[in-house]
Structures are given as structure tokens and as C-alpha cells.
């Protein structure tokens, strides 16, 4: 960001002296800014093939097959092509949406699960169907490729998962397959629709798609976690469903909660229950654009500029190097300890410079990291000038990067706007008490 601190003599500043500039918030891009995460988990290992004798009188038995076996494995990594991100081996998931699926995770490695805060998906999961004769000799194979994708509800506790199965290989005695898919989930969740389609007969190159559905019902002020699981029964067309089948679990838990609500009553109303992937760290967003009441382009102005300076000039780097942790309780006590304790210049006394002077603290009083003794914080004034923010410091002007907090003299409207954005971020990202989050401030 071009966030710089200039060298100064370590002398105490008298209250009637002008504050001195110690840095600035520029307008260049920051490569280390946190962004909403996309994470991956390897497909869970399976215990080799699952085999069953073929039924008397079945098409497989008539073709000479004594047993049918099913195994699962990730699809081989393909070279970069359409739908691939160059030189990364990561596959764009737009193909699922193109086939009628929900908005899906942006990227994934073939055969691995990909996750965002409100999404999960997997593609390139191969299910291999193998026929063997009485002597164990392979007489035919069929390959099915499975993809699934789901978008979790920010508000609500029911959702669909889109499923696609495509036949991508056939050899020998196997010319067609029947794919019957079933979903389930563990305690605290109900699979309300377990079969995405009926039939499912496939030949080489054909695919079948549909959706399965889930529901959860967390009690007020509570949260529940669970996993989803899947089975793909593979037989010859027309055969009765039976083993062998491919079975697997989603490697990460899903959380549904009704516990986001703010105990102070802000924002107004009661946030709805919703669901997330809790292992993906949420990111709260704000901007240093000047605050303009009622404008859709308004930022959080001086407040956001203060936080951004602190992120890059104080030791902890809260929100970019280290996560912040939401604290629903005792917020006002933490705010009073930082803003009311040993101020160099009383808040409200800078009327010539700041007619609406108010105290804004960082880390936020709504986090467990907030509530530091204000006398130990850098006391700063952000001033908008020439399209950017310069940072002035009151009190001891010695640049001390080992400080853990700031309190900033900012206009009251900027302060209120930033507080609303943080509370809205807790609700939108479903950040619960004692849950970690990152803070991304753009300029």
C-alpha cells in the first residue's frame, strides 16, 4: 500500500503541539491482502476394490463374468486446455454450472474436493467397473466420472447438491452401465432427496445429471456440524440395484447455525440461520474510500485508513498476518478500556481539525484481541489529502512497531459506518463467537 513510517526523535509531544506525520496510506495494490479462500482436501482413501459375484442369469454372467468389481480413484491430471487454469493443473468448475448445476467452487484438482466459505465441490472422481471370469481374468471395464457441486445458504438451512455422472471409458464385455446415485448425511442433517435421477443407463460419452437435497434445523443460539456421504451403485442396464458400489464421504464438515445474532441488538432484526464450511476462514471487507452518507460508493474513510495503517505498521498485522477473533460479549467494556484510558488528547478536543472527533479502536472492541490499555496504543489522526490518507500521531511520536493497537481520532460518521460494516460482515460471513476471521481493506 506504500504504508510508510518516517524516522523521528523520541521526544514527548506536548498537548498543544501539532501532531506529526508518521506515515501514509497510498493507493497501490497490496499483494498480501487476504481474499476469500478456496481450499482443497484430498479425496478420502478407499479400501481398494469392492467385488460381488454376478447374478445367475444376468447379462454379466452370460458374457462369462463370474464377478463384478468397483473401485474409485482421482482422474489423471490433464494438460492445460479449455476449462483449465494455465500451468496450475486447477480445473475451472464452470462446466457444472453450464450443465444446470448451482454456482460452484471456482477451482479444484481432479479427484479432490474444493471449498469456499459457502461452497463445496469435487470433479474428476473416477469409478471403475471391472468384470472378471472364473479364473480372475479381466474381460471388460467401464469408467464413470463423477462431479458434484453445492452452494450453501447464507440465510436458510436447506440446499441442493448437483450431481453429474458421465461414462468416459468402455472395454471388452462392458458396453453400457447403469449408474444409480444415493446421498446421505450424518446426525443433525436430513437428506430430503437422496436420488438425483431415475434410470441412469449410460453408454460411452453419455452423462446424466440431477440434484439431491439436504436440510438441517439448529436450535436458536446453537450450531451443529455433520458430513455428507455418497454411494454409486454400478450394474449392467436393467439389473437390480445391488453391491458392488463406490462409497465415499465429503472430507470436511458442514456447519449450520442460528447463533450469529449480536447480543447488543445490532444490526436490527434477528439474522437468519444459515450454513458454512467452518474450516474456511471468513474475510470481512471494507474500503478507505471517504464516507459519504447514502452513497453506494461510500467507504469507511478515516476509520478504514486507520486500520489499514495499523495492519502494516504494528507488530501483529491483525487481519492480514494474524486472524482476529469475534467476541460477542463485553464489547463496551473493551471499548472503554482502550478509548477512555490515558488519552494524549481528549477525544472531542480536536474541534478545529475534526469537528466530529470520536475514538475508534483497532483491534476492534468486538474481538478478543481488542480491549488493550489505551495508553499503550498508537494514537493517530488520519487526514484525507490529495486522494489519499496521511497518518499523524499524537503523544509520543517515536515510531514503535511493537505496539499492538491503535486508537484513532476519526469523524463519528466514519466510525459508525465501519462498525456497521464489521457487524454486517459477521452476519454475512456467519462468524460466530470466538471464530477467527481476516480483514481485507481496499483503497
Interval 359-385 mean pLDDT: 93
Asked if 208 and 66 sit in the same domain, the reply is yes
Asked if 423 and 377 sit in the same domain, the reply is yes
What size, in residues, is the chain?
Answer: 443
Query: Final residue of a domain: which of 207, 241, 257?
Result: 257
Asked if 392 and 320 sit in the same domain, the reply is yes
Interval 59-80 mean pLDDT: 78
Across 19-33, 182-196, 364-378, the highest mean pLDDT is recorded for 182-196
Q: Looking at per-residue confidence, does 151 or 240 come out higher?
A: 151
Range of the domain at 323: 4-35+281-442
Interval 319-326 mean pLDDT: 96
Each as own residue / partner, the long-range contacts of residues 42-45 (CB below 8 Å, 24 or more positions apart, any chain) are 42/112, 42/113, 42/251, 43/72, 43/74, 43/111, 43/112, 43/113, 43/122, 43/125, 43/248, 43/251, 44/248, 44/249, 44/251
Q: What is the structure's pLDDT at 244? A: 65
Bridge partners for 146 per DSSP: 125, 165
Cell 496510506, residue located: 25
Question: Does the residue 276 lie in any domain?
Answer: no
pLDDT tens track for 21-69: 666 776 544 545 666 667 877 766 655 788 889 888 888 888 899 999 9
- What gap in Å lies between CA 149 and CA 102, rounded to an integer? 7
Asked if 25 and 86 sit in the same domain, the reply is no
Is residue 18 exposed (0-12), middle (13-18) or buried (19+ Cβ within 10 Å)? exposed
Asked if 29 and 112 sit in the same domain, the reply is no
- What gap in Å lies between CA 203 and CA 274, rounded to an integer? 40
Asked if 359 and 298 sit in the same domain, the reply is yes
pLDDT tens track for 96-114: 334 434 444 444 467 789 9
Q: What is the structure's pLDDT at 89? A: 30
Question: Does the residue 269 lie in any domain?
Answer: no
Residue 418 grid coordinates: 465501519
- What gap in Å lies between CA 140 and CA 167, rounded to an integer? 14
Angle at 405 between CA 399 and CA 411, to 5 degrees: 95
Interval 330-352 mean pLDDT: 80
* CATH classification at residue 66: 2.60.40.1230
Interval 368-393 mean pLDDT: 91
Asked if 237 and 312 sit in the same domain, the reply is no
Query: Final residue of a domain: which of 224, 257, 290?
Result: 257
Q: What is the structure's pLDDT at 395? A: 72
Asked if 53 and 23 sit in the same domain, the reply is no
Cell 467452487, residue located: 105
Q: What is the structure's pLDDT at 240? A: 64
Asked if 14 and 98 sit in the same domain, the reply is no
Asked if 375 and 226 sit in the same domain, the reply is no
Q: What is the DSSP string of 126-178?
A: EEEEEEE-TTS-EEEEEEEEEEEEEE--SS-SEEEEEEEEEEEEEEET--EEE
Q: What is the structure's pLDDT at 348? A: 67
Asked if 229 and 93 sit in the same domain, the reply is yes
pLDDT tens track for 170-179: 999 999 999 9
Q: How many domains does the chain have?
A: 2
Q: What is the structure's pLDDT at 28? A: 47
pLDDT at 412 over 90: yes
Amino acid at each position: 500500500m506504500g504504508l510508510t513510517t518516517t524516522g523521528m526523535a523520541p521526544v514527548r509531544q506536548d498537548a498543544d503541539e501539532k501532531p506529526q506525520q508518521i506515515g501514509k496510506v497510498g493507493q497501490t495494490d497490496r499483494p498480501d491482502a487476504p481474499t476469500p479462500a478456496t481450499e482443497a482436501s484430498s479425496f478420502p482413501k478407499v479400501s481398494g476394490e469392492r467385488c460381488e459375484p454376478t447374478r445367475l442369469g444376468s447379462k454379466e454372467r452370460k458374457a462369462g463374468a463370474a464377478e463384478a468389481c468397483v473401485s474409485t480413484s482421482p482422474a489423471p491430471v490433464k494438460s492445460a486446455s479449455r476449462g483449465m487454469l494455465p500451468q496450475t493443473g486447477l480445473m475451472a468448475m464452470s462446466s457444472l454450472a453450464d450443465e444446470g448445476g448451482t454456482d460452484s467452487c471456482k477451482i479444484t484438482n481432479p479427484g479432490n474436493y474444493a471449498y469456499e466459505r459457502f461452497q463445496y465441490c469435487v470433479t474428476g472422481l473416477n469409478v471403475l467397473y471391472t468384470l472378471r471370469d472364473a479364473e480372475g481374468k479381466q474381460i471388460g471395464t467401464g469408467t464413470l466420472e463423477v462431479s458434484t457441486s453445492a452452494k450453501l445458504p447464507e440465510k436458510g438451512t436447506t440446499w441442493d447438491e448437483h450431481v453429474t455422472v458421465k461414462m468416459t471409458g468402455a472395454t471388452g464385455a462392458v458396453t453400457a452401465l447403469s449408474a444409480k446415485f444415493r446421498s446421505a448425511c450424518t446426525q443433525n442433517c436430513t437428506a430430503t432427496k437422496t436420488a438425483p435421477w431415475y434410470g441412469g443407463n449410460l453408454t460411452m460419452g453419455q452423462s446424466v445429471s440431477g440434484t439431491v437435497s439436504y436440510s438441517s434445523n439448529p436450535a436458536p443460539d446453537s450450531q451443529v456440524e455433520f458430513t455428507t456421504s455418497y454411494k454409486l451403485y454400478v450394474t449392467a442396464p436393467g439389473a437390480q440395484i445391488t453391491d458392488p458400489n463406490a462409497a465415499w464421504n465429503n472430507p470436511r464438515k458442514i456447519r449450520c447455525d442460528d447463533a450469529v445474532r449480536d447480543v447488543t441488538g445490532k444490526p436490527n432484526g434477528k439474522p437468519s440461520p444459515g450454513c458454512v464450511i467452518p474450516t474456511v476462514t471468513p474475510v470481512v471487507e471494507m474500503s478507505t474510500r471517504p464516507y459519504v452518507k447514502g452513497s453506494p460508493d461510500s467507504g469507511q474513510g478515516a476509520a478504514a485508513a486507520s486500520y489499514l495503517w495499523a495492519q502494516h505498521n504494528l507488530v501483529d498485522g491483525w487481519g492480514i498476518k494474524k486472524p482476529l477473533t469475534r467476541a460477542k460479549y463485553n464489547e463496551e467494556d473493551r471499548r472503554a478500556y482502550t478509548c477512555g484510558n490515558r488519552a494524549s488528547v481528549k477525544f472531542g478536543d480536536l474541534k478545529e481539525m475534526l469537528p466530529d472527533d470520536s475514538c475508534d479502536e483497532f483491534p476492534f472492541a468486538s474481538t478478543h484481541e481488542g480491549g488493550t490499555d489505551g495508553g499503550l496504543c498508537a494514537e493517530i489522526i488520519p487526514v484525507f489529502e490529495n486522494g489519499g490518507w496521511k497518518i499523524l500521531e499524537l503523544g509520543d511520536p517515536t515510531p514503535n512497531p511493537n505496539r499492538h493497537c491503535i486508537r484513532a481520532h476519526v469523524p463519528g460518521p466514519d466510525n459508525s459506518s465501519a462498525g456497521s460494516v464489521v457487524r454486517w460482515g459477521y452476519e454475512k460471513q456467519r462468524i460466530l463467537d470466538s471464530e477467527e476471521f481476516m480483514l481485507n481493506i481496499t483503497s
